[in-house]
Structure 1
Amino acid sequence: NGAGKSTLALTLAGLLPPAGGAVIAAPSLAQGANPSPIRWASRELLTRIGMVFQEPEHQLLAQTVRDELAVGPRALGVPDDEVSARVDELLTRLRLAHLGAANPYTLSGGEKRRLTVAAAIATRPRVLILDEPTFGQDARTWAELVAMLATLRDEGSAIVTITHDLDVARALHATRFVLGAPA
């Protein structure tokens, strides 16, 4: 705790300016945008970098779970039938279908976390940055989330996971970087 993992995630996601130096996206990710993600407009970020915050409440925007999943695709101008299909698929995959009409703030901590992961995935970003994505999940849900992340990785998305759960890194066969708190 206190090493700057969440700050690093937000910086990589283009949501915080770097304290020093610069974060430059690969040309294939920037594709015509400014090379620095901090300079990207929200719409430019949506399909490039998805972010799941450590605290799910910090990214909830809509009044229902279903609408929360539709925010990003609608902002991109995705046709309504495709938005509905994406939302339905994510509700089912993350076992949230029975909560579609619920207010996101009434969900349990684990359900909120799954909702925010699903909302980030809904825009189909090429890079997905997740801060403690498996925190508060039971063994079944943990395995489902890790399997979904592995599938996204295998389909070509870059996955950056900030976690204390080393089993996640092992399961994803991830390159690990360890940050330590300052002395």
Structure 2
Amino acid sequence: VFQEPQHQFVAATAADELAVGPRRTGVPEAETARRVDELLSRLRLGHLARANPFTLSGGEQRRLSVATVLATRPGLLVLDEPTVGQDSRTWAQLVDLLADLVAGGTGVVAVTHDERLVEALADDVLRLAQGRPAPVPVGAA
């Protein structure tokens, strides 16, 4: 997931954007539709299903960006600043979703400045300081 979500959008509506990945990987249409509906609901984007992704707010674009990747059910999710632009309620929902993915066996790698996200989810932390990696135990952030 890119830091600038609009760089990954290719479809005319949010719902179509979510369907791109599953369709390209051969997921049956009924299952694709189920995933689209589930993710639109879970990420509070249902009312925007027919909206053009480029007209969404920054926070909505970021959630849609995350959802497009989740629609393919990846084994590993790589995120760049996933919580930027989220209000506290949406932040909590996104963190809960990521926690559920981790509990279900999905690997999550996040590049972030969000210390609360690190505290909520991280098993391992690699901090960069002065251009050098410096491992930091969780809780010592």
TM-score (normalizing by structure 1): 0.70
Q: Distance in 1 between matches of 2:111 and 2:122?
A: 14
Cα separation, 2, equivalents of 1:157 and 1:54: 21
Look up the match of 2:139.
Answer: none
Distance verdict in 2 for CA 1:182–1:65, change over 3 Å: same
Shift in Å at residue 181 of structure 1? Answer: 4.2
Partner of 1:17 in structure 2? none
1:143 corresponds to which letter in structure 2? Answer: A
Show the counterpart of 2:137: none
Q: How far 1:130 moved relative to its partner?
A: 0.4
SS of the aligned residue for 1:53 comes to coil
Aligned AA (2:25): L
Alignment partner of 2:129: what SS?
A: coil
Residue 138, structure 1, aligned to residue 138, structure 2: no
Residue 163 of structure 1: which of 101, 112, 123 is its match? 112
| Identity level (%) | 58
One of 3, 16, 20 as aligned partner of 1:71: 20
Q: In the alignment, is residue 180 of structure 1 matched against residue 129 of structure 2?
A: yes
For residues 32-73 of structure 1, give each alpha carbon's deviation from its aligned partner in whole angstroms, at most 9, with x where no partner exists: xxxxxxxxxxxxxxxxxxxx1111011111110000000000
Runs of 5+ consecutive residues of structure 1 not aligned to the other structure: 1-51
Matched, 1:59 2:20: no
Alignment partners' CA distance in 1, 2:104 and 2:45: 23
How many matched pairs? 132
Shift of residue 179, structure 1, vs aligned partner = 1.3
1:111-156 deviations in Å (ceiling 9; x for gaps): 0000000001000000000000000000000000001000000000
Residue of structure 2 in register with 1:108 after alignment: 57
Q: Normalized per residue, which structure has more strand? A: 2
Provide the C-alpha distance between the structure 1 equivalents of 2:82 and 2:15, rounded to a whole number of angstroms.
20
Give the structure 2 partner of residue 152 of structure 1: 101
Structure 2 residue 36 is matched with structure 1 residue 91? no
The AA in structure 2 aligned to 1:161 is A
Give unpaired runs (5+ residues) of structure 2: 133-141
Q: Which runs of 4+ in 1 moved over 4 A?
A: none
| Offset, 1:182 | 3.7
